[in-house]
Amino acid sequence: MPVTIEKAQVTLPSDREVKVTRSFKAARPLVYRAFTEPTLVQRWLLGPPGWSMPVCEMDVRVGGRYRWRWRSNKDGRQFGFTGTFREVAAPARLVHTETYDPGTVGDAHPESESIVTVTFTENSGITTVTTLIDFGSKEARDAAVATGMTDGMEQSYQLLDALLRERV
């Protein structure tokens, strides 16, 4: 019986949060591995088109750190995320902090820490991953949604610039 996987869904559960939900045709332990083993993460968490992920270090245990960095193939600019794992409950749940590292991109992204809670639930071989990101403030959330992980990098920066200009 063919299984239809729905595309990623994004909702805004509160002023400070974003929730992303997606299902995968794989058992939960495997999906958990793909989220926690650096060599696997590096194969899919590539950021915007035209960017690669040269740095992916993850010490997945409570108190362990991680460092992700993306690099533009075009001009070598870099940005990333760093953080600490707060909860590690394989293969069900992962909680980590997340701080934006502007690298050499040089944008004025708000310097706030987000809390990311990733939950993995399995039903008949289909694993649903829910990523809840608490940005700590509405400003940080809106700026993050407008930048970083979006598909049109330049377009996003223009949006972010506009958002920041408005708050000066």
- 115 binds another protein per the rule CB under 8 A: no
Which member of 36, 82, 114, 156 binds another protein (CB under 8 A)?
156
Verify binding: residue 19, another protein, rule CB under 8 A: no
Q: Among residues 84, 93, 150, 157, which is the contact residue for another protein, using CB under 8 A? A: 150
Q: Select the span of 14-22, 61-69, 97-105, 109-117 touching another protein (CB under 8 A).
A: 14-22
Could you say whether residue 74 binds another protein (CB under 8 A)?
Answer: no
Burial (CB < 10 A; 0-12, 13-18, 19+), residue 9, is exposed
C-alpha triplet 88, 13, 146: angle, nearest 5°: 90
Cis amide prior to 91 (ω within 30 degrees): yes
Stretch 33-52 residues interacting with another protein (CB under 8 A): 33-34, 40, 43-49
Residue 60 binds another protein (CB under 8 A): no
3-class DSSP state of 42: helix
The answer to whether residues 121 and 133 touch, using CB atoms and an 8 Å cutoff, is: no
Give which of 27, 60, 23, 22 is closest to 41, Cα–Cα: 60
State both tokens at 59.
């010490």
Q: Report which DSSP code applies to 113.
A: E
Binding residues for another protein, total number by CB under 8 A: 43
Q: Which spans of this chain sit near another protein (rule: CB under 8 A)?
A: 5, 7-10, 12, 14-15, 18, 20, 22, 24-26, 30-31, 33-34, 40, 43-49, 138, 142, 145-146, 149-152, 155-156, 158-159, 161-163, 165-166
